[in-house]
Structure 1
Amino acid sequence: MNLLEIRNLSVTYRSGADEVRAVDGIDLDVDTGEVVGLAGESGCGKSTLALAVAQLLPRGAQVSADRMQLGATDLLTVDDHGLRRLRWSRLSMVFQGAMNGFNPVMPVGAQIAEAIRTHRPDIGKREIRTRVAELLGEVGIAAGRAADYPHQFSGGMKQRAMIAMALACDPELVIADEPTTALDVMTQAQILELIRRLADELDLAMLVISHDLMVLGELCDRAAVMYAGRIVERGQADEVLTHTAVTGPAHPYTRQLLACFPQPGAGAASISGIPGSPPDLAHPPDGCRFCARCEVALPECAAEVPALRPVAAGTTHVAACHRVASDTTLALKVAR
Structure 2
Amino acid sequence: MNSNENKNDVELVQKLNKKITEVKSEIAKVIVGQDEIIDQLIIALMSKGHCLLVGVPGLAKTLLIKTLAEVMDLKFSRIQFTPDLMPSDITGTEVLEEDQLSKKRNFRFIAGPVFANMILADEINRTPPKTQAALLEAMQEHKVTAAGITHQLPEPFFVLATQNPIEQEGTYPLPEAQLDRFMFNLWLDYPSYEEEIKVVQTTTSGHNVKLNKVVSAEEILVFQDLIRRVPVADNVIQFAVKVANMTRPVNGSSPDFIKQWITWGAGPRASQYMILSAKSRAVIQGRFTPNIDDVKAAMLPVLRHRIITNFSAEAEGISAVDVIKKLAEVANKLI
Q: TM-score when scaled to structure 1? A: 0.37
Higher relative contact order (CA 8 A, sep 6+): 2
Higher normalized helix content (fraction of residues): 2
Q: TM-score when scaled to structure 2? A: 0.37
